[in-house]
Amino acid sequence: KFGKIKMLDQAGTFIAQHHPNHMGTKRISANTFAVQLKPKTATCFTSIQSGVFTLDNAKYWYLNYIYEFRK
């Protein structure tokens, strides 16, 4: 899983580690930390209609192939 990564100081890291979406922390320098957080929502740039059409279209051609094969 991939999450959102923030570069925080020591105080921000302390607060982020107590957040329920905290995944991990890595020290970068003396006062800089990379904090990984789970995203709250997923983003999708493909419309749902396009995805449904693609699945329905594939199902149509599969069933059409099976039907033609049995003739």
At 9, give phi and psi (nearest 5°): -85, -175
> What is the pLDDT at residue 46?
66
> What is the pLDDT at residue 8?
94
Q: For the chain, what are the domain ranges?
A: 4-69
Residues of the chain with pLDDT under 50: none
CA-to-CA dists, residue 6 to 12, 15, 64, angstroms: 10, 12, 50
Number of H helices, E strands in the chain: 2, 3
The angle at the Cα of 36, spanning 11 to 25, to the nearest 5 degrees, equals 55
Model-level pTM greater than 0.85?
no
The tens digit of pLDDT for each residue in 30-50 reads 999 999 988 777 666 667 777
> What is the pLDDT at residue 1?
52
Rg, C-alpha atoms of the chain? 23
